[in-house]
Amino acid sequence: MRGRIKVEHKCDEKSLVVLKEDGVLTTYKCLVCGKEFSEIGSIVITADKDLLMCEIYVKWSKDSSVVSQISKLKKLIPDTKKIGNNILLEAAKKRKSLKVAEMFSDEAYELLEKGKMMGVLLQVI
């Protein structure tokens, strides 16, 4: 009987799956041996249109109460809690658009979609 040579497994791209991504930190698990690996990737800044800064304005609806809209806005954009209620109420009563955030355009358009689902009208400029 011939002796078998035990070949140690080497984890490679084919055997790894992504467990989680947290910013630039990615954690993988090998499906063959079960080991976990973490890797810090680099941040690439490009001249991509998604990285342009834009402003987010709330638009007030006639179809919903002012108090309800303000409450939903504060849930959607927690930083709006820093804006005084009197400023929000005054803008809502006058149906005046109000700047509520500034962010990268890719984030802004995601926020726009979340806002629609919650009944908060937003405008990206």
CB half-sphere exposure, 12, CA atoms < 13 A: 4
Domain identity same for 39 and 81: no
Triad 86, 89, 92: Cα angle to 5°: 150
**Domain C-terminal end among 12, 28, 43:** 43
User: Is the Cβ–Cβ distance between 26 and 43 less than 8 Å?
Assistant: no
Read off the pLDDT of residues 17-67 as tens digits, 9 standing for 90 and up. 989 888 788 889 999 888 998 888 766 555 565 568 899 999 999 888 999
Same domain, 112 and 68: yes
Regarding whether 61 and 3 lie in a shared domain, the answer is no
Alpha helices in the chain (DSSP H): 66-76, 85-93, 105-118
Interacting residues of 48 by C-beta distance below 8 A, sequence separation 6+: none
119 & 58 share domain: yes
Give residue-wise pLDDT tens across range 22-35.
Answer: 878 888 999 988 89
